[in-house]
Amino acid sequence: MTISEQEIRSATISLLDEVDFQEVGGISFRGEQYDRGLAFVHHPTGLGGRGASPALQGIVDEILADANVPAAFASNPIGVGMGAPTVMTYGSLELQRRLLRPLFTGEEIWCQLFSEPGAGSDVASLATRAVRDGDEWIVSGQKVWTTLAHVARWGMLVARSDPDAPKHRGLTYFVLDMQAAGVEVRPLRQITGEAEFNEVYLTEVHISDSMRLGEVGNGWSVAITTLMNERASIGGLVLPRSGGAIAEALHTFGMRGSPVDSLDQLMQLWCGSEALRLTSLRAAAQRQQGNPGPEGSVVKLANAELNQKIYEFCVDTQQEDSLFYPDYTMRRPEFAGVHGDTSQRTATQAFLRSRANTIEGGTSEVMRNILGERVLGLAGEPRSDKELPWSQIPKG
């Protein structure tokens, strides 16, 4: 049976009428939202959805936003934006039932365990080892730049299960319990003073084979699903006109009474922001047809570089006031800085944090390669190690 827009709209209004977000809190409200099939409307009944068109999720999100109900994405961006679509695409029904509801409610935060000290932009060269032992895998290695690992219950882990296969083919993907024995999380302090990122050490960590996503050795394909959703999540948040970073620039400009040449610069930034907003709307419409493709890299790339220009404008406009940064105390935030709470953030702090935008979720150089190869159809860069067994590739 086809679910209509009116049914989704009525169900969402009923949720708001019957459950008071302010009274019950975010976890309970989102639990009700999930149980009523309004979390991921395109999922089957019982898994947060109603088997509806993915396009109808926008109706739910719009009604809740108008009622000042924070999106689930804000409390668990990696789980909702990357974990859910990966689990739904590759996970067993048992895993889907176990993981999706607490992921959506925010009871169980997720992190992503891909990058390593020797495998950043080239994730497929990772060295973390997974050795099969009956119905379990024993995993040892080190991951780095892991956002929110210090508060995460689950981690999306890619490890090398066959070192004698070419680097893209010998990988296997797991959901890792971050509370398991052998998992150690250490903070990485940023230039803002915060430690939003972490390095994670894995020492003979036991993972049940039931926590594997996809086939053994097919971890790269599963990882691509996560990565495409990651780029869409980082760059794909559709803000209202004059919202987000450009709103801070408008406010800063108005407070300082800046000269005419600054107004010209501001208008160029505003036009760029509006063009990006419209591009994000188009990309969001494409994503609703399924897992995102390389078009997510367009928005991610443009958004990262525009954010940096906007916050450079803000600190330039504030002049000497921007030189003072009041608190470098090491803090471990519970929200990701990409889309986290910015209500108490200064322009200087935003400027410093924005330095990471062109690195996290894939560097701008990687995004340009993806767009060149997969969108424009240009020849790829030479890869001399593509067919070599990973064990034979020179390291270091």
Per residue in 78-89, pLDDT (tens digit) is: 999 999 999 999
CA angle 175, 179, 184 (to 5 degrees): 100
| Structural tokens at position 396 | 């270091």
Long-range pairs, 201-205, Cβ under 8 A, ≥24: 201/142, 202/128, 202/139, 202/140, 202/141, 202/142, 202/143, 202/176, 203/140, 204/138, 204/139, 204/140, 205/138, 205/139, 205/140, 205/176, 205/180, 205/181
CATH code of the domain covering residue 124? 2.40.110.10
Distance CA 30, CA 387 (A): 46
pLDDT for the residue numbered 274? 92
- pLDDT tens-digit profile, the chain (396 residues): 689 999 999 999 999 999 999 999 999 999 999 999 999 999 999 999 999 998 899 899 999 999 999 989 888 999 999 999 999 999 999 999 999 999 999 999 999 999 999 988 889 999 999 999 999 999 999 999 999 999 999 999 999 999 999 999 999 999 999 999 999 999 999 888 889 899 999 999 999 999 999 999 999 999 999 988 876 666 556 667 877 889 889 888 887 666 667 888 999 999 999 998 888 777 666 665 556 666 667 888 888 999 999 999 999 988 887 888 777 888 898 877 654 445 456 888 889 989 988 888 778 888 898 888 888 888 887 777 778 889 888 876
Of 275, 282, 347, nearest in space to 310 by CA = 347
Catalytic-labelled residue, pool 108, 194, 199, 230 = 230
* 230 and 369 inside one domain: yes
The per-residue pLDDT for 230 is 77
248 and 210 inside one domain:
no
* Same domain? 240 vs 277: yes
Residue at a domain's end among 73, 105, 137 = 105
Q: Quick one: 335 and 319 in the same domain?
A: yes
* Distance (Å, whole) CA 38 – CA 61: 9
In a domain, 129, yes or no: yes
CATH number (domain holding residue 23): 1.10.540
Number of domains composing the chain: 3
CA distance 294 to 271: 24
Could you tell me the CATH number of the domain that includes residue 249?
1.20.140.10
Claim to verify: residue 184 and residue 276 sit in the same structural domain: no
Q: Angle, to 10 degrees, between the axis of helix 245-256 and the axis of helix 347-354?
A: 140
Domain that holds residue 243: 224-375
| Amino acid identity, position 294 | P
CB neighbourhood size of 190 (10 A): 17
Q: Between helices 57-66 and 5-18, what is the axis angle to 10°?
A: 30
Look at residue 396 and tell me if it is in a domain. Answer: no
| 355 falls within a domain | yes
Buried b / exposed e across 286-324, counting CB within 10 Å, b at 16+? Answer: ebeeebbbbbbbbbbbbbbbbbbbbbebbbebbeeebee
Residue with tokens 């889309």: 339
Q: Which helix (H) or strand (E) holds 278?
A: helix 260-287
Residue 365: how many other CB atoms lie within 10 Å: 12
Whole-number pLDDT of residue 238: 63
Q: How far apart are CA 149 and CA 142, in angstroms?
A: 13
Residue 141 included in any domain: yes
Q: Is 18 annotated in the active site? A: no
Q: Are residues 199 and 342 in the same domain?
A: no
Tokens read off for 59: 């109706």
Structure tokens at 248: 């801070």
Whether residue 130 is found in the same domain as residue 84: no
Cβ neighbors of 326 (< 8 A, separation 6 or more) are 346
Strands (E), the chain: 110-113, 129-133, 136-143, 154-160, 171-177, 183-188, 197-208, 212-213
The pLDDT, as a whole number, for residue 259 is 65
CB 128 within 8 A of CB 159: yes
Domain's final residue, options 218, 233, 261: 218
- Residue bearing tokens 């972490």: 198
Would you say residue 192 lies in a domain?
yes
- Are 177 and 289 within one domain? no
Residue finishing a domain among 178, 200, 218:
218
Instruction: Look at residues 145, 192, 187 and name the one whose alpha carbon lies nearest to residue 350.
Output: 192
* Matching residue, tokens 């519970």: 334
Are 287 and 333 members of one domain? yes
Same-domain pairing of 230 and 370: yes
DSSP helix/strand/coil, 117:
coil
* Residue-wise pLDDT tens digits, 43-77: 999 999 999 998 899 899 999 999 999 989 888 99
Let me know if residue 384 belongs to a domain.
no
Measured distance CA(96)–CA(77) in Å, rounded: 18
Q: How many other β-carbons are positioned within 10 Å of the β-carbon of residue 277?
A: 20
What is the spatial distance between Cα 334 and Cα 349, in angstroms, rounded to a whole number? 17
Q: Is residue 279 part of a domain?
A: yes
Q: Taking each helix axis from N to C terminus, what angle separates 219-235 and 260-287, rounded to the nearest 10 degrees?
A: 140
81 shares its domain with 116:
no
In a domain, 380, yes or no: no
What is the residue-wise DSSP string for 43-83? Answer: SPBTTTB-S--GGGHHHHHHHHHHTTPPPHHHH-HHIIIII
Based on the fold, state whether residues 124 and 231 are members of the same structural domain: no
